Structure 1
Amino acid sequence: MKIVHDIKSLREFLQDKKNIGLVPTMGYLHEGHLSLVNEAKKISEHVVMSIFVNPLQFGPNEDFDRYPRDFDRDCQMAQDAGADVVFAPSVSEMYPDKSFTTVHVSSVTERLCGASRPGHFDGVATVVSKLFHIVQPTYAFFGLKDAQQVAVIQQMVNDLNFPVKIIPCPIIREKDGLALSSRNVYLSPEEREQALVLSQSLKEARRFIEEGERDIRAVINHIRSLIGSKPLAEIEYVEVLSYPSLQTLKRLEGRFIIALAVKFGKTRLIDNLIMSLQEVS
């Protein structure tokens, strides 16, 4: 596996390559990231994994400085998973000068994490746009744990005619249901135990809907009640929206997402369930 730190060297390495799969990450890899590599290997001849903790997508009071990093471990995991190249630029390599250009996607960024983290998705869209220009992938693979991010990137690709196919990949969970996240390492044992309520409440919501519930407020209240029973849980949002357009619904219909953001101590976790009524009819 090749490790590259600068854009010029990566472009030179990839210049004659076709059918490239890109797996963008911020590192501190887990099985969720590796599942993206596995999916990329199925349809790509060359798999590029980027490892870059992007400062543009962190707010002033967020965890950029303490975001977990272990580059040697990440490279070993990427190699074992079968990645061909790790692209790990420095901040100065990606942003050598003060930038006056950002990529802003409206509408799908205005709810959920976009509402509570102003500017976050501008940072995401900008760095992903740069990665697409640098790598020029045929496919790009993103996990659906951050389903809003997938929707934002797909909208950007559609609107700006990027010649890349976005491949959304399923959420990977621990055996007890906790969605894998690099931030899980922050959780104390008690916080981690209580965080299981997120996946449990989504399962309950699915059961509630399968039994015939169609009232969105009833579904949300049911979830909030379950999460609220955990004393360490601080709910940021519980929402039910159309997916991938992320528009308000009056009643359950079509394809929709049940999305959660909850803090346990200082650790903010997200989780979601995407489904349609066709699955239960």
Structure 2
Amino acid sequence: MSRTPIVARTLPALRRALDTLRARKATVALVPTMGALHEGHLSLVRQAKRRASKVVVSIFVNPTQFAPNEDFGSYPRTWKADLAKLAAENVDLVWGPDAKTMYPPGFASKILTEGPALAGLEDRFRPHFFGGVTTVVGKLFTQVRPDIAIFGEKDFQQLRVVTQMARDLDLGVKVIGIATSRERDGLARSSRNVYLSDEERRAAPALYRSLKETAGRLRDGDKIKAALAGGAKLITAAGFELDYLEARHAETLAPIRSVADGPVRLLVAARIGTTRLIDNIAV
């Protein structure tokens, strides 16, 4: 039977709720989200429940990680539906601050990271992005003080950046990456999938298929340049405009010369219509 989670919208309410959760020395897992929850998010919640006795889900559409030409204003916001889904999963606490709570008047600090944040992947196309992500995630970690934090591997560069930040700043949080949740046809689940037209949705699984084919070619001994060229051809033939398709070291995201330099991760970002999708797989 589901139960309604505690909902905190202010910092004092959050602190009171967390004190209650920790009264019996409970372990706390945080699942950070921007709402518009789908099955991928709920799979993260279920993984969190396996790893901790109490689960906190944050819902905050973070304005600082959107550029002026991006979709902050139109990003889907489904608060009531999100709460119903989290109640069905027996989440203990939902942290739903507004922008003024997260960034009050006079706010003037930012967490900037290097290493995987400057890998030449998402940062090349969205140079504003990781400064916004690390600042808001750093705040969430200090506000909630979780024992563990659960992130999906779909945003793989983000996972590496957040992991590095938590380690470098001694935030006391173990960051855990969970395998990408996919539709039956292989498309990575994303809140932005709702932007796809019917025709675009039918074409979108080509992104994952190209990753699998490229990974297979690399495992069979193809050179990286040739395998990536073949994958890029498949992606553009499906109607995508390719931002990047890269083979990188899975831990550092540094460029590699061969599979022997691995472990290897393939990462892709491409646009179809007005929607930009990202994905990645291990080789």
8 A Cα contact 2:210 2:235, kept in partner? yes
Partner of residue 280, structure 2: 272
Structure 1 Cα separation of the partners of residues 251 and 69 of structure 2: 29
Query: Residue 217 in 1 paired to residue 225 in 2?
Result: yes
1:79 aligns with 2:83: no
- 4, 7, 17: which one pairs with 2:11? 7
Q: 2:116, 2:160 within 8 Å by CA — same for their partners in 1? A: yes
Aligned partner letter, 1:14? L
What percent of counterpart residues are identical?
Answer: 42
Distance in 2 (CA, whole Å) between partners of 1:85 and 1:15 is 12
Report how far residue 209 of structure 1 moved: 2.1
Long gaps (5+) in structure 2 = none
Whether the aligned pair in 2 keeps the contact of 1:143 and 1:171 (CA below 8 Å) is: yes
Structure 1 segments, 4+ long, off by >6 Å, are: none
Partner of 2:69: 61
Number of aligned residue pairs: 273
- CA shift, 1:227, in A, is 0.6
Q: Is 2:184 the counterpart of 1:175?
A: yes
Q: Which amino acid aligns with 2:102?
A: M
Aligned partner of 1:51 among 54, 59, 67: 59
Report SS of the residue matched to 2:116: coil
- Tell me the SS of whatever aligns to 2:245: strand
Q: Which residue of 1 aligns with 2:196?
A: 187
C-alpha separation in 1, matches of 2:89 and 2:180: 18
**CA contact under 8 A between 1:23 and 1:49: conserved in structure 2?**
yes
Point out the more displaced range, 62-71 or 235-244.
235-244
1:128 to 115, 132, 137: 137
Deviation at 1:242, TM superposition (A): 0.7
Structure 1: tracts of 5 or more residues without a match = 276-281
Offset of 1:107 from its aligned partner?
A: 2.4
- Is 1:101 paired with 2:113? no
Cα distance in 1 for residues equivalent to 2:282 and 2:218: 12
The answer as to 2:278 corresponding to 1:246 is no
Q: CA deviation at 1:199?
A: 0.7
TM-score between the two structures when normalised by the length of structure 1: 0.95
Please state how far the C-alpha of 1:23 moved relative to its aligned partner.
Answer: 0.2
Distance in 2, Cα, partners of 1:136 & 1:156: 15
